[in-house]
Structure formats: C-alpha cells, structure tokens
Amino acid sequence: MFDYRSILLYYSKGNNNSQIARLCSCTRKTVIKTIKIALEKGIQIPVPNSINDNELAKMLFPNRSYNEEYEMPNFEWEKFNMTKHRVSIDLAWKRYVKRCIRENKKPYCRARFYTLFKEYLKPSKAERHLEMINKLESYNYALNCLEPDSDIYLKIKQEKEDWLKSVHLDEEKI
C-alpha cells in the first residue's frame, strides 16, 4: 500500500508530481490519481492525524481490497533475539508463525517475512545522509586541529577527498 498521507502532505507543501513520486517511492501516475481523487472526494489536505492510513486508503479507493488479516511481525523483538540469543532468521520466522497460529492470526509466508525484515534493517535515506554529514564533520574537525603542513594533515585530507569521490559527492552538496 502506498503512503497516501505523504503524497497529499507533499502536495499541500507545493511539490510537483515528479518530486512527490520520488519522495514517496511511487509513480507519477499514482501521485496524480491520488491527488485527483482526494480533491474530488473533498478530503482535507493535509490529512488530519485523526484519520489513520487504512481509513485514508479506504476513503480514496473504497473498491480495493486490503489484506489486513496478515499479522505484522515485531521486527524490533526479532532483531533483539537474533543478536542476543543467536536466533536465526528461519527460527524467528517459525516462532512468528507459531505465535500467529496461537493467536488465530494469519502469518506472512517465509519469503515475505524475509523481505519485510530486510526492509526493516535497511537504513533510511535520512539516516544515510546523517552518517555522511557526521563523517564529513569528523574529517573537517581533524583537519582543523592539525597543522596544514604536517604529514598527518595531508594524509587525512587525501583520505577525505578519496571518500568524497567514492560516494560521488562534492562537499557543497551535503
């Protein structure tokens, strides 16, 4: 399911359809259709927090079926078990399935569980951007503390330039 709330929020802030599609990881067609339907149905933009994402999706597209019967795994707990108790992802999935059956809920299949867990572990764009800023600041701090003619200064400066090239960035873009 798409993040319709974000699509409408970015629209209200004045972003164009291409920007919204890029920010929300969807197609321009999805953005255009979502905005058009929201305006036709008179949905308040931006959407108030009192309306949850599932309700918003049903308001926009009432004829679609939404698979709400699947139980979402608690990946924070699964990650904790994997690191602390050396539980494999396969065992985590099996325990998740047993919990779902015990609670009369429908579990995801193994492949979907693995995919969702992989997405959970992947850092967001904001986290990656923050890591880059922190690394750049640490290079700059080290360079400011050293004498410009020293060997260590030149070595760190070269390392910084190599790192910037490896991530395909100019210092001004960060």
Q: Report DSSP state, residue 168.
A: T
In the structure encoding, which two tokens stand for residue 66, read together? Answer: 């939404």
Integer Cα distance of 76 and 117 in angstroms = 10
Minimal CA–CA distance to 92: which of 106, 104, 76? 76
* Token pair listed for 6: 């974000």
Question: What does the pLDDT average to over 34-54?
Answer: 86
Please check the confidence at residue 65 and state whether its pLDDT lies above 80: no
Q: Where are the domains of the chain?
A: 4-60, 75-121, 125-173
Give per-residue pLDDT as tens, 87-130. Answer: 888 999 999 999 999 988 889 889 889 888 888 887 766 677 77
Q: For residue 2, is pLDDT > 70?
A: yes
Report the amino acid identity of residue 24. Answer: C
Three-class DSSP category at 124: coil
Say what the pTM is: 0.42
Most confident of 15-19, 65-69, 137-141, 159-163: 15-19
- Looking at residue 125, its pLDDT comes to 65
pLDDT tens for each residue of 152-167: 888 888 888 888 888 7
SS3 category, 93: helix
Instruction: Identify the pLDDT of residue 122.
Output: 79
Is 68 a residue whose pLDDT tops 80?
no
Distance (Å, rounded) from C-alpha 121 to C-alpha 116? 9
Chain centroid to CA 14: how far?
22
Contact 169, 132 (CB under 8 A): yes
